A and B are shown apart, each in its own frame.
Chain A
Amino acid sequence: MIVAEDLVKEFKVHRRRPGLIGSLGTLFSREHDIVRAVSGVSFRILPGVRAAYIGANGAGKSTTVKMLTGVMNPTSGRCTVAGLEPYRDRRRTAANIGVVFGQRSQLWWDLPVADSFRILRRIHDIPDPVYRRNMALYQELLDLDALGTTPVRQLSLGQRMRAEVAASLLHDPAAVFLDEPTVGLDLVLKEAVRELVNRVNAQLGTTVMLTSHDIGDITSICDQVLVVNHGAVVHQGTVHELLRAADTRAVVFEYQDGPDPHQAIALIEARLPGVTARQSECRRIIVDYPTGRLSARQVMAFLLEHFDLTDCVAPEPDLETVLRRIYTRRAEPREVPV
C-alpha cells in the first residue's frame, strides 16, 4: 500500500552571517548548506497495517510523510501510495488518502466544522450512505455535534483535533497519514481518537501510518513499528519484535536484612559484568543487564544467592525505554553519510 524506495529529501539552507553587514552580505550571496532531512529511506507497508513511524525530533518523520502525501517532491528516490506516486498524481492520490498534520489545520477556519464537512463531501463526491455512516460514527465516538456552529478558528485545540481526524477519514480513504494526531488532547479524547482509527481500520481495512511521540498512541493503535534514525529506517517489525530487540532488560527485586542498598548495588555491579543497578525505593533495586551477556535467569540466580529476596520480577521491556535507547544512539559518533 505504502512503498518508499531510497527516498531522499534535501533542503537548501542559506548561510547567514551575524551582524548587519553579515545580513546584507547574505542578500547577495548564493552560499548555502545542504541539509539532508531524509537520507535514503526504504520501507513497505502492506494494506490494512497500522504502522507507527517513529523517531526522535528531527529524524525526518514529518518530511517523509509530506512526500508520501504528495505535499513535497523528493530530491531523489520514489514512493508510491496505492500504486500512485503522490507528488506526480496529487489529485488521484488525494482521493485515496486522508491526512492529519496535528499542528496545521485543513479545515475552513472561518466556518463551523459542519460546513467544512459538507464542503469535503462535495469535493470528494462522497456517496450519501457513506457520508451518513461516517457522520454517525463520528457523532458516537467524538460527539461532533457538540462543536455546534462555532467557527473553527474559535475552537480549542482539542475540539479542533477531533474534527481534523474525522475530516481525514470522511471519504473512506484507503490509507490515512496521522502526524501527531492526539497532540493537545486529554486522556478521554485521546482514547476516542484511537478507538476511531482502530474501528475504521477493522471495518474498512484502512491502512494507517502514524507518527507520534505519544507511546500510548503507538501501543494502542499500531501493530507495526518503523523506527527512523539519522533519516533512515533502522527497524521495521511488530511492536513485540522491537521490544525483543531491546539490548538492555531489567530485573527488579526487594530484599530484607543483609547489606544496605548502597553496598548491595556496589556488590551487584562488581560481580555481574556490564550491569548497572539503581535504587528505586528503600530496599527495592532495579538491575539493568545487557541481554547479550547475561540472561534473566543468571541475574536472578545471583540475586537469590546473595540476598534474602521478598519480591523479584523481570518486567517486559517497555517501549519508551527501548525507544529512548535507540534515539540516544544518535549522540554516539556514528558515521552518517551526507
Chain B
Amino acid sequence: MRPIATVARYTALAWHLSAVSLHRLTEYRMDFVLGAGGLLLRVGGQLAVVGMVFRQVPVIAGWNFHQVLFLLGFSLLPRGVDRLFTDQLWIMARRLVQSGEFYRYLIRPVHPLFALLSERFLYPDGFGELITGAAITWYAADQLDLDPGIGDLLLLPLLVLCGALILAAIKTAFAALSFWTTNSFPALYAANQLGDFSGYPLDLYHPSLRWLLTWLLPYAFTAYAPASYLLFGRTDLLLWLPVVTAALVALALLVWHRGVDRYEMTGS
C-alpha cells in the first residue's frame, strides 16, 4: 500500500510542478527559440553528414540510408524524454554544489533527487527533440516499409523509456561527481558528447569504442540496440536492456547517495 501511495504522491507532485514549468515557458520565449534553433542546427548537421556519406556508398556496415536515418531519429526520442525531466542536472554539475545552493533539496520532504529535477521539469528543448526524432523515425520507417506488429508497437514506448532512464542515470552519476569535485560540468559534458555516437551504427566504430559504448557508458542501449531489433530483428543486445537499465539506475543512485552523504555546504 505504501509504495503505491508514494508513487501516487510523486506523480501528483510531478504533474503540478510540470504545470508550473510550462507556465514559466511563456516568460522565457527567447530561451525556447534559441534552444529550438540550436537543436535544429545539430540534427541538421547530423542529417547532412549521413546524406553526404550515402551519396558515395549505398550501404555502410550493412545499414542503408533509411536504416541509418531511422537509428538517428530513434536516438532523439530517449534524449528528448530525458531532457524533459533531468535538465537541472546540468546546473547542478556546474554550480549548485559549488555555490552551496544544493542544500535546499535536503530540507524538503521529498527525495532530494526529485526535488532537484522538479525545479526544471518539461524543459522545452526536450519537446523539440521528441518531435524531430518522431518525424525522422516515422519518415524512415515509412520509406523502409517497416510494418511493426502490435507487440513491437507496445514495446516501443518501453524501449524509449529504458533509453531515457539510461541517459538520466549517466547524467545523474556524472552530475553527482560534483559532490567530490564541486564542479563536474566538464566530466558531464564529455560523457554527454560520447552519447552523440549513439545516433550512428555501432558497427562503424573500432571494437574498443564499441565496447565502451556498450558496457561502460552504455549509450548503445538507448538507440542502437532497439533500432537493430526493430529493423533487423536482432535481439542479442536487446535482451540485456532491462539488466543494463536496472544496473545503471542502481549505480547512479548509489553514487548520488554517497555524494549526498558527504555533501559539505559551503560558506556561512
On A, residues with C-beta under 8 Å from B are 11, 57, 62, 66, 69-73, 90-92, 94-95, 97, 99, 101, 103-106, 108, 110-111, 115, 118-119, 122-124, 151, 179-180
List 9 A-B pairs, Cβ < 8 Å.
Answer: A72-B265, A91-B111, A94-B109, A103-B100, A110-B24, A110-B27, A111-B20, A123-B13, A123-B115
Q: Do A66 and B107 contact each other (CB < 8 Å), given the known contacts A103-B267, A122-B13?
A: no
B262-A73 in contact (CB<8A): yes
Q: Do A104 and B100 contact each other (CB < 8 Å), given the known contacts A11-B264, A119-B17?
A: yes
User: Looking across the interface, which residue of chain A has its beta carbon closest to that of B107?
Assistant: A99
B107-A94 in contact (CB<8A): yes
- Give Cα distance in the complex from A338 to B265, angstroms: 22
B101-A73 in contact (CB<8A): no
**B103 proximity list for chain A (CB < 8 A):** 66, 71, 101, 104, 106
CB distance from A175 to the nearest CB of B (A): 12
A108-B119 in contact (CB<8A): yes
Q: Do A104 and B104 contact each other (CB < 8 Å), given the known contacts A71-B263, A72-B264?
A: yes
CB distance from B54 to the nearest CB of A (A): 44
**A91 proximity list for chain B (CB < 8 A):** 108-111
Among B213-268, those with CB < 8 Å from A are 261-265, 267-268
A97-B263 in contact (CB<8A): no
- Give Cα distance in the complex from A327 to B147, angstroms: 79
CB distance from B76 to the nearest CB of A (A): 27
Q: Mark B116-153, 1 if CB is under 8 A from A, else 0.
A: 00010000000000000000000000000000000000
Among B79-112, those with CB < 8 Å from A are 99-101, 103-104, 106-112
Q: Is B16 an interface residue (CB 8 A)?
A: yes
User: Looking across the interface, which residue of chain A has its beta carbon closest to that of B17?
Assistant: A119
CB distance from B215 to the nearest CB of A (A): 30
- Give Cα distance in the complex from A317 to B252, angstroms: 57
CB distance from A89 to the nearest CB of B (A): 11
B265-A66 in contact (CB<8A): yes
A71-B106 in contact (CB<8A): yes
User: Looking across the interface, which residue of chain B has its beta carbon closest to that of A12?
Assistant: B264
Query: How many inter-chain contacts with C-beta < 8 Å in the A-B complex?
Result: 75
CB distance from A281 to the nearest CB of B (A): 38
- Give Cα distance in the complex from A101 to B267, angstroms: 10
- Give Cα distance in the complex from A235 to B267, angstroms: 25
- Interface-centre pick from B23, B24, B107 (highest chain A CB count, 10 A): B107
A90-B17 in contact (CB<8A): no
Interface size on B, as a range, is 20 to 34
A123-B268 in contact (CB<8A): no
CB distance from B226 to the nearest CB of A (A): 36
**B23 proximity list for chain A (CB < 8 A):** 115
CB distance from B31 to the nearest CB of A (A): 10
**A123 proximity list for chain B (CB < 8 A):** 13, 108-110, 115
- Partner among A90, A92, A99, A115 whose Cβ is within 8 Å of the Cβ of B20: A115
B106-A73 in contact (CB<8A): no
New A-B pairs, 20, CB < 8 Å, besides A104-B100, A115-B23, A151-B27:
A57-B268, A62-B268, A66-B265, A70-B106, A71-B106, A71-B107, A73-B262, A92-B109, A99-B107, A101-B103, A103-B100, A104-B267, A105-B101, A110-B24, A110-B27, A111-B20, A115-B20, A119-B20, A122-B16, A124-B109
A90-B262 in contact (CB<8A): no
User: Looking across the interface, which residue of chain B has its beta carbon closest to that of A57?
Assistant: B268
- Give Cα distance in the complex from A72 to B261, angstroms: 7
- Give Cα distance in the complex from A94 to B27, angstroms: 31
Q: Mark B1-32, 1 if CB is under 8 A from A, else 0.
A: 00000000000110011001001100110000
Q: Do A71 and B265 contact each other (CB < 8 Å), given the known contacts A108-B119, A115-B20, A119-B16?
A: yes
- Give Cα distance in the complex from A97 to B109, angstroms: 10
- Interface-centre pick from A70, A71, A95 (highest chain B CB count, 10 A): A71
- Give Cα distance in the complex from A70 to B111, angstroms: 13
**A92 proximity list for chain B (CB < 8 A):** 109
- Give Cα distance in the complex from A103 to B265, angstroms: 12
**B16 proximity list for chain A (CB < 8 A):** 119, 122
- Give Cα distance in the complex from A124 to B9, angstroms: 11
B268-A180 in contact (CB<8A): yes
- Interface-centre pick from A62, A103, A119 (highest chain B CB count, 10 A): A119
**A11 proximity list for chain B (CB < 8 A):** 264
**A124 proximity list for chain B (CB < 8 A):** 109
- Give Cα distance in the complex from A104 to B111, angstroms: 20
Q: Do A106 and B107 contact each other (CB < 8 Å), given the known contacts A72-B263, A73-B261, A111-B24?
A: yes
- Give Cα distance in the complex from A71 to B266, angstroms: 11
- Give Cα distance in the complex from A91 to B107, angstroms: 7
- Give Cα distance in the complex from A62 to B100, angstroms: 13
**B119 proximity list for chain A (CB < 8 A):** 108
User: Looking across the interface, which residue of chain A has its beta carbon closest to that of B15?
Assistant: A122
User: Looking across the interface, which residue of chain B has its beta carbon closest to that of A100?
Assistant: B107
